[in-house]
Amino acid sequence: MTSEYRILPAGDTALVVEFGEQIDRAVSGRVLALARRLDESRPAGVVETVPTFRSLMVCFDPLAVSADALAARIADLMPPAQSVEKPGRVWRLPACYDAHVAPDLEAVAAAAGLSPRDVVERHSATAYHVYMLGFLPGQAYLGDVPAELAMPRRPTPRPRIRAGSLAMTSTMTCIFPLETPCGWHIVGRSPVPLWQGGPRPQALLRPGDTVRFAPVSLREYERLAARAADGTLEIRPAEAPLGAAA
């Protein structure tokens, strides 16, 4: 083991591999590279890998492998410090920035010294990296927000926001897949369901994916939201034309 990472116990059925103290794409690349190597090599006893901003949790069956043996296997599979993880899928997701669904857009614009239109242009022009999923099922933490749009959390959280709310704070932005309390700034809403429940639940996005937002009108948002509600809104990676993705 080197100072580039450390392996820590998390109870008796998981190890956590930590990489540094920062949230950045280089650290995320190492987390995702190790997750891929573990998934591809399928070491005995490994049940699941869970990426976070700067660490990877490796869940295992202690009856199939010891923590020490698994730590040694992780060390063998550790990607080089300067490794570049292969890119994930690319998505272009429709998002409405109309004032009816963006209660904080004007306040964010005023704080940044920009017009609401400038905020929308900067927010939607950025290619966001999916660092991790968490907090709510299917919720992807996307970074990095342009520096001029980086804002602290709202002083007073809202007790409830609508599912699909497009929000941001600090260097992160996300679509909240379910109704939830929230202290982030709401700058729009997306009709895209990020989480599919049922007997085979799955998230639309994965760590390592890239996301861009495609601004749509309030009328178009309502049309797409109606299709999402009846199950006919089909979302595909952006290699397909946007019209096919919405």
The residue with greater pLDDT, 60 or 1, is 60
User: What tokens does 174 get?
Assistant: 């996300």
Q: Matching CATH topology for 6-77 and 90-245? A: no
Sign of torsion, CA 53 56 57 59?
Answer: positive
The residue with greater pLDDT, 239 or 171, is 171
The residue with greater pLDDT, 22 or 61, is 61
pLDDT of 198 reads 73
- Flag whether pLDDT at 72 surpasses 70: yes
Tell me what the pLDDT averaged over the chain comes to.
92
pLDDT of 241 reads 42
Asked if residue 97 lies in contact with residue 105, where contact means CB atoms within 8 angstroms, the answer is yes
| Mean pLDDT value across residues 203-214 | 96
pLDDT of 62 reads 97
pLDDT of 3 reads 53
- Flag whether pLDDT at 197 surpasses 80: no
pLDDT of 199 reads 77
pLDDT of 239 reads 61
Q: 6-77: which CATH architecture?
A: 2-Layer Sandwich (3.30)
pLDDT of 13 reads 97
pLDDT of 242 reads 43
| Mean pLDDT value across residues 135-160 | 96
Percent of the chain with pLDDT over 70: 94
- Flag whether pLDDT at 245 surpasses 70: no
pLDDT of 244 reads 38
- Flag whether pLDDT at 49 surpasses 80: yes
pLDDT one-digit tens code per residue, 100-116: 999 999 999 999 999 99
pLDDT of 83 reads 65
CATH tag, 90-245? 2.40.100.10
- Flag whether pLDDT at 140 surpasses 50: yes
Name the least confident of 18-27, 81-90, 135-144, 154-163. 81-90
Q: Cα(3)–Cα(195) distance, rounded to whole angstroms?
A: 37
| Mean pLDDT value across residues 60-89 | 90
The domain ranges of the chain are 6-77, 90-245
